[in-house]
């Protein structure tokens, strides 16, 4: 190397070393949110409120929002592969139920391990309710900050129920599975081409099948996916009843749109069915109200305040639900996590905690009210959310905090798909489920009832 | 040692531009790249296929050596033929190859190549352009175009059908297998057509002229002159398109492998196991089996080539 080249090289090294502190830190944040598309409110909040305020308060830090427009399962896939190779966004939206399997796989580290012990000094922790803290907690460590929780219910099209002659269509409240089926049959009799009921099934909808479909029926039989001793229930009357309910809806009486359960974009089709009045009863989380159907969204229901109602999800028979309940529901929760391989852990934590300060969360509530995790953030002026959360949160259940849950959930989705496609009988589907789950968790961790 | 080899093979010495040592030095970078990116992953996949490694969960960090466990699971004859299992995908893929490659692509390509021998040059060129266009367009574009074409509610095909009074169909859900067979035939016929086209061109025209004088029909010329003369090309074509079709992933863009695994070809099955269920060990085992099957194809192909050269 000539002297001149050497001088140049040293000069460059020196210059970059000096310039180091001046260089901006680039942060990336990802969520399954697209302005004008899925979870538009979240995207709008981050883009218009969080980023400008954070950048103003932290000169030298650039933040970029990746708007991920695919399905939940695809984001999970991308995050898992990114985190396993040390790539990916610095901060990411994350569904709490995935934390155990990611942590056990070495793909997530606790917040204090990533960003240092000062994480534990954050004032926000004191303002999170215990229930919401648990959403992002695994083995007594925080892996993210929870944003909020949710509840599930039956959404009704009051106009269609009234047209079909269902009594008290405005305040309709079924007390058993038969009540639901009867209402659906009445609608079907009036409109033979319609698919009155939507209970999610199939592989394409991913966790939405398990959470908004299978669980809601299974809890109504008095069972859960795991028993009280923590063993996975692989064969039981409750599973069979649940699968038979699917069969009644999708195969025997065609009360539901089986195509929407099988197609890749089926969940959107189910939303469109409800919007277009093809479906009158749809089981979903409050997400459906706050994020899918507001005015201006793709699946906005015209005249929503008058035509859309909600009802509690009944057990199979009164008193037959989990813990002897008449009505059942289940909650999950989402939040944001830190990438364990982030180049700028301090700044990433600064962003994460900044988003979860009351000032930012209130800005979020102004865009899209939801059930918040923080107790010091004003309850949104939304009669719907207040009413549903007060009624349903006392009845709610949570998914097992278990690293195998995700894999078992995939088997549940397959089991429902094989029934609604008419490929297997409920008995055969359950036998296959038993075999598959036994392989995942080991025979000693399963039980047949 | 170097001197020995050069003296033993005087032929190569005549062509050598570099000393063996310099040659080896120049080969090293490429050799290292091949070693790192081809040979190491090859053995790594074989190794992983003997473990229960996953991407999520406990076995991600502490995979265990389970010997032939993954292979035994794949060949578990309790559920081997069930939809969504290895055996089902394997048989489905064989059917897919039979219908779409051997019957579809090869026959259609042969027919097209034979028919365009006799048409005016403009028609020939236009036909070739369209068939080749189907072959060179990017897969994602093609996949989306076919998806849009076949959709039940907004699809072009159903609009055409209803406009002439025929009932619309739900092709992607009710006949998914035939959709991907048809798709792959359409997609790949160009290769066979081009190959047979050039094979036909290599036959001296005087053979056909003599047959014309004798009053032979087109079928007779095809059966008795063209076919025997291009037999070697046909075998090459069949082996190549069999390998390609066996490994193709594009139907995934149309059907996602569904509904209910009804179009889950072996490559799609492998993808699902490894990158959707994140079972790397089992996925690697599937990969090893696919590799062995391809190896068998490749050996047949190479031995045929060797025979041809000897002849």
B73 reaches A (C-beta below 8 A): yes
Chain A residues whose beta carbon lies within 8 Å of the beta carbon of residue B83: 418, 423
pLDDT at A193 over 80: yes
Q: CA geometry: angle at A383 spanning A377 and A387, to 5°?
A: 90
Is residue B95 domain-shared with residue B201, that is, in the same domain? Answer: yes
A74 reaches B (C-beta below 8 A): no
Residue A238 is predicted with a pLDDT of: 95
Report yes or no on B63 lying in a domain: no
pLDDT at B308 over 70: no
Is residue B26 domain-shared with residue B124, that is, in the same domain? Answer: no
Whole-number Å distance between alpha carbons of A332 and A146: 11
Mean predicted confidence (pLDDT) in B130-153 = 86
Report yes or no on B36 lying in a domain: yes
Residue B254 is predicted with a pLDDT of: 87
pLDDT at A280 over 90: yes
Q: Which residue of B has its CA nearest to A416?
A: B260
How much is the mean pLDDT over chain A? 88
Give me the domains of chain A, ranges plus CATH numbers: 22-142+333-395 (3.40.190.10), 152-330+400-448 (3.40.190.10)
Inter-chain touch B57–A417, beta carbons under 8 Å: no
Is residue B190 domain-shared with residue B287, that is, in the same domain? Answer: yes
Whole-number Å distance between alpha carbons of B69 and B52: 8
Mean predicted confidence (pLDDT) in B235-242 = 88
Is residue B29 domain-shared with residue B153, that is, in the same domain? Answer: no
Residue with tokens 């509530």: A365
Shortest Cα–Cα distance, A410 to chain B (Å): 8
For residue A284, which of A342, A211, A181 has the smallest C-alpha distance? A211
Mean predicted confidence (pLDDT) in B31-60 = 89
pLDDT tens track for A67-108: 998 888 889 999 999 998 989 999 999 998 899 889 988 899
| Residues above pLDDT 70, as percent of chain B | 94
**In this structure, what are the phi and psi dihedrals at residue A398, rounded to the nearest 5 degrees?**
-125, 160
A104 reaches B (C-beta below 8 A): yes
pLDDT at B119 over 90: no
CB contacts < 8 A, A to B, total 70
Is residue B18 domain-shared with residue B94, that is, in the same domain? Answer: no
A236 reaches B (C-beta below 8 A): no
Report yes or no on B59 lying in a domain: no
Report yes or no on B134 lying in a domain: yes
Number of CB atoms found within 10 A of residue A113's CB: 15
pLDDT at B13 over 60: no
Greater model confidence, B52 or B78: B52
User: Where is average pLDDT lowest: A173-182, A310-319, B53-62, B89-98?
Assistant: B53-62
Sign of the Cα pseudo-torsion (B233, B239, B240, B241, in order): positive
Shortest Cα–Cα distance, B19 to chain A (Å): 28
Is residue B12 domain-shared with residue B136, that is, in the same domain? Answer: no
Q: Which residue of B has its CA nearest to A262?
A: B259
ipTM: 0.78
Which letter, b or e, does each residue of A231-251 get, where b requires 16 or more Cβ atoms within 10 Å of its Cβ?
ebbbbbebbebbbbbbbbbbb
Dump the DSSP string for A27-71. Answer: EEEEES--TTSTTHHHHHHIIIIIHHHHHHHSTTEEEEEEE--S-
Residue A11 binned pLDDT confidence (cut-offs 50, 70, 90): low
pLDDT at A17 over 60: no
Residue A284 binned pLDDT confidence (cut-offs 50, 70, 90): very high
Report yes or no on B58 lying in a domain: no
Is residue B25 domain-shared with residue B128, that is, in the same domain? Answer: no
Inter-chain touch A403–B278, beta carbons under 8 Å: no
Residue B14 is predicted with a pLDDT of: 58
Is residue B198 domain-shared with residue B292, that is, in the same domain? Answer: yes
Chain A residues whose beta carbon lies within 8 Å of the beta carbon of residue B173: 259, 262-263
Instruction: State the first-to-last Cα distance of chain A, in angstroms, to the nearest integer.
Output: 78
What's the pTM?
0.82
- Largest separation between any pair of C-alpha atoms in chain B: 82
Is residue B14 domain-shared with residue B126, that is, in the same domain? Answer: no
Whole-number Å distance between alpha carbons of B211 and B226: 11
A421 reaches B (C-beta below 8 A): yes
Is residue B31 domain-shared with residue B122, that is, in the same domain? Answer: no
Residue A266 is predicted with a pLDDT of: 87
* Cis previous bond, B259, omega within 30: yes
Is residue B146 domain-shared with residue B95, that is, in the same domain? Answer: yes
B151 reaches A (C-beta below 8 A): no
Expressed as residue numbers, the domain containing B16 is 2-48
A441 reaches B (C-beta below 8 A): no
For residue A97, which of A130, A131, A136 has the smallest C-alpha distance? A136
Q: Which residue of B has its CA nearest to A423?
A: B260
Mutate to test the interface with B, among A85, A87, A101 (most CBs of B within 10 A): A101
- Closest partner residue to B79 (CB to CB) among A101, A259, A435 is A435
Report yes or no on B136 lying in a domain: yes
Greater model confidence, B44 or B17: B44
Tokens, residue B231? 């037999």
DSSP 3-state percent helix, strand, coil across chain B (nearest 5): 75, 0, 25
Report yes or no on B66 lying in a domain: no
pLDDT at B1 over 80: no
Residue A308 is predicted with a pLDDT of: 92
pLDDT tens track for A252-273: 999 999 989 988 788 889 999 9
Residue B7 is predicted with a pLDDT of: 47
Report yes or no on B302 lying in a domain: yes
Is residue B283 domain-shared with residue B161, that is, in the same domain? Answer: yes
CATH classification at residue B262: 1.10.3720.10
Shortest Cα–Cα distance, B296 to chain A (Å): 32
Structural domain count of chain B: 2
Q: How many CA atoms lie within 13 A of A162 on its CB side?
A: 11
Residue B3 binned pLDDT confidence (cut-offs 50, 70, 90): very low
H helices present in A145-225, as ranges: 158-163, 177-190, 207-209, 215-219
pLDDT at B266 over 90: yes
């Amino acid at each position: 190397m000539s002297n001149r080249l050497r001088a140049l090289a040293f000069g460059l090294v020196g210059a970059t070393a000096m310039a180091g502190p001046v260089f901006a830190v680039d942060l990336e944040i990802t969520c399954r949110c697209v302005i004008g598309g899925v979870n538009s409110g979240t995207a709008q909040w981050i883009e218009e409120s969080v980023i400008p305020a954070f950048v103003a308060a932290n000169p030298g830090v650039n933040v970029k929002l990746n708007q991920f427009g695919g399905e939940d399962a695809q984001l999970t896939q991308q995050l898992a592969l990114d985190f396993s190779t040390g790539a990916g966004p610095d901060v990411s939206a994350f569904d709490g139920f995935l934390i155990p399997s990611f942590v056990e796989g070495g793909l997530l580290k606790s917040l204090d391990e990533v960003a240092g012990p000062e994480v534990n000094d954050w004032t926000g922790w004191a303002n999170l309710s215990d229930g919401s803290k648990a959403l992002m907690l695994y083995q007594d460590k925080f892996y993210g900050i929870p944003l909020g929780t949710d509840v599930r219910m039956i959404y009704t099209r009051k106009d269609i129920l009234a047209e079909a002659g269902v009594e008290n269509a405005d305040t309709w409240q079924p007390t058993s599975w038969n009540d639901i089926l009867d209402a659906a049959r009445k609608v079907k009799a009036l409109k033979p081409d319609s698919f009155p009921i939507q209970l999610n099934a199939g592989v394409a909808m991913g966790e939405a099948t398990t959470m908004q479909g299978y669980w809601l029926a299974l809890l109504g039989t008095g069972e859960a996916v795991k028993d009280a001793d923590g063993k996975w229930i692989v064969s039981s009357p409750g599973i069979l009843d649940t699968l038979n309910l699917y069969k009644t809806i999708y195969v025997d009486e065609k009360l539901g749109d089986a195509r929407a359960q099988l197609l890749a974009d089926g969940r959107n089709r189910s939303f469109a069915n409800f919007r277009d009045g093809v479906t009158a009863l749809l089981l979903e989380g409050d997400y459906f109200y706050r994020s899918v159907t507001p005015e201006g969204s793709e699946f906005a229901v015209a005249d929503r305040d008058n035509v859309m109602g909600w009802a509690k999800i009944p057990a199979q028979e009164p008193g037959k639900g989990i813990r002897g309940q008449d009505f059942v529901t289940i909650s999950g929760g989402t939040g944001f996590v830190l990438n364990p391989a982030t180049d700028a852990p301090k700044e990433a934590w600064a962003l994460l905690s900044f988003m979860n300060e009351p000032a930012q969360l209130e800005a979020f509530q102004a865009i899209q009210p939801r059930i918040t995790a923080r107790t010091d953030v004003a309850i949104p002026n939304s009669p719907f959310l207040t009413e549903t959360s007060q009624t349903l949160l006392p009845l709610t259940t949570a998914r097992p905090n278990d690293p195998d849950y995700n894999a078992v959930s995939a088997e549940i989705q397959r089991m429902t798909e094989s029934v609604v496609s008419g490929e297997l009988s409920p008995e055969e589907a359950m036998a296959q489920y038993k075999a598959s789950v036994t392989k995942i968790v080991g025979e000693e961790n399963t039980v047949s009832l | 040692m170097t001197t020995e080899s050069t003296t033993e093979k005087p032929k190569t010495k005549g062509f050598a531009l570099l000393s063996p040592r310099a040659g080896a030095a120049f080969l090293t970078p490429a050799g290292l790249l091949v070693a790192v990116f081809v040979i190491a992953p090859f053995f790594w996949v074989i190794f992983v296929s003997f473990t229960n490694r996953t991407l999520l969960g406990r076995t991600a960090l502490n995979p265990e050596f389970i010997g032939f466990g993954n292979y035994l699971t794949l060949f578990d004859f309790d559920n081997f033929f069930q939809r969504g299992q290895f055996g089902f995908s394997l048989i489905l893929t064989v059917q897919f190859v039979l219908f779409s490659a051997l019957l579809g692509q090869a026959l259609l390509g042969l027919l097209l190549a034979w028919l365009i021998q006799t048409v005016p040059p403009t028609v020939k060129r236009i036909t070739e352009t369209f068939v080749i266009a189907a072959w060179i367009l990017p897969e994602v574009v093609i996949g989306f175009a076919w998806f849009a074409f076949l959709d039940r509610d907004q699809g072009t095909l159903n609009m055409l059908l209803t406009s002439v009074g025929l009932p619309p169909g739900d092709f992607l859900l009710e006949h998914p297998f035939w959709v991907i067979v048809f798709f792959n035939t359409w997609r790949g016929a160009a290769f066979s057509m081009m190959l047979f086209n050039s094979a036909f061109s290599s036959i001296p025209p005087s053979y056909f002229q003599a047959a014309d004088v004798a009053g032979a029909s087109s079928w007779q010329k095809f059966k008795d002159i063209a076919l025997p003369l291009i037999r070697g090309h046909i075998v090459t074509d069949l082996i190549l398109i069999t390998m390609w079709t066996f490994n193709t992933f594009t139907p995934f863009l149309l059907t996602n492998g569904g509904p209910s695994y009804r179009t889950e070809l072996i490559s799609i099955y492998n993808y699902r196991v490894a990158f959707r269920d994140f079972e790397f060990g089992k996925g690697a085992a599937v990969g090893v089996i696919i590799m062995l099957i391809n190896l068998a194809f490749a050996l047949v192909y190479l031995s045929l080539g060797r025979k041809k050269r000897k002849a």
